[in-house]
Chain A
Amino acid sequence: GAGVSQTPSNKVTEKGKYVELRCDPISGHTALYWYRQSLGQGPEFLIYFQGTGAADDSGLPNDRFFAVRPEGSVSTLKIQRTERGDSAVYLCASSSPGTGLSNEQFFGPGTRLTVL
């Protein structure tokens, strides 16, 4: 009955390094979302998975960002050649879409990424 969990809670890395951020959605939730929240801003959509496939990746800022969800549950957001501007809180959310209107998304606590 746990909620969405994200690891690590904090990640400090150096410019140019590669990082992976993990999200464990609520069990049974087929939809998974990644958002990025910069200081003083609201969450900004990055990518949405329905099952194993990325249904909408229009929010990924550039090709340094990539996300996978190979078994339709856990997802990993991967950032290559990190830049200082990538510093933000990365939020993951999951939902169990039915038909019709958008459904409530349940958010994890986020991973705070700091690129030095």
Chain B
Amino acid sequence: DQQVKQNSPSLSVQEGRISILNCDYTNSMFDYFLWYKKYPAEGPTFLISISSIKDKNEDGRFTVFLNKSAKHLSLHIVPSQPGDSAVYFCAASLNNYGQNFVFGPGTRLSVLP
């Protein structure tokens, strides 16, 4: 049973528009959430994170929103650029239980020029 779900395996967006990637989780004990980006033949790279005490965190073109009651988070990228084309993984962790992350299956974002 997947604890972290990303129900859209792929997403295509026009350059300059907003990209919205969604993530749902089932374990209410998760306390910290991250987004990682992965290019082919490379390891995932950290993008942005959010603690459960917040509902929004912004870093440049990237904003993560957290809705704890719905167990849902989303990553907004605006404006989208062709270099943003990659696989995006949502991950969650239990702060008090250690540091391993539970990853979702990923969403492949294609930003079309």
Contact = CB atoms under 8 A, between A and B. Distances in A.
Minimum-distance CB pairs A-B, first 9: A107-B43, A42-B103, A45-B100, A102-B93, A104-B46, A56-B98, A43-B103, A102-B32, A107-B44
Interface residues of B, number: 28
Nearest to A31: B99
Contacts of B95: 100-102
Nearest to A93: B43
B99 A103 contact: yes
A31 B100 CA distance: 10
Nearest to B42: A109
13 contacts: A42-B91, A42-B106, A43-B44, A43-B89, A48-B100, A58-B100, A59-B100, A100-B95, A101-B32, A101-B95, A102-B93, A104-B46, A107-B36
Contacts of B89: 42-43
B102 interface: yes
A50 to B, nearest CB: 8
Interface of B: 4, 6, 9, 31-32, 34, 36, 41-46, 49, 51, 89, 91, 93, 95, 98-106
Interface in A61-116: 91, 93, 95, 97, 100-110
A66 to B, nearest CB: 17
Interface of A: 4, 31, 33, 35, 40-45, 48, 55-56, 58-59, 91, 93, 95, 97, 100-110
Nearest to A43: B103
A26 to B, nearest CB: 12
A45 B101 contact: yes
B43 A33 contact: no
Contact of B100 (A56, A100, A103, A109): A56
Nearest to A46: B100
A103 B104 CA distance: 18
B34 to A, nearest CB: 8
Contacts of B104: 42
Given A42-B4, A43-B89, A93-B43, A105 B105 contact: no
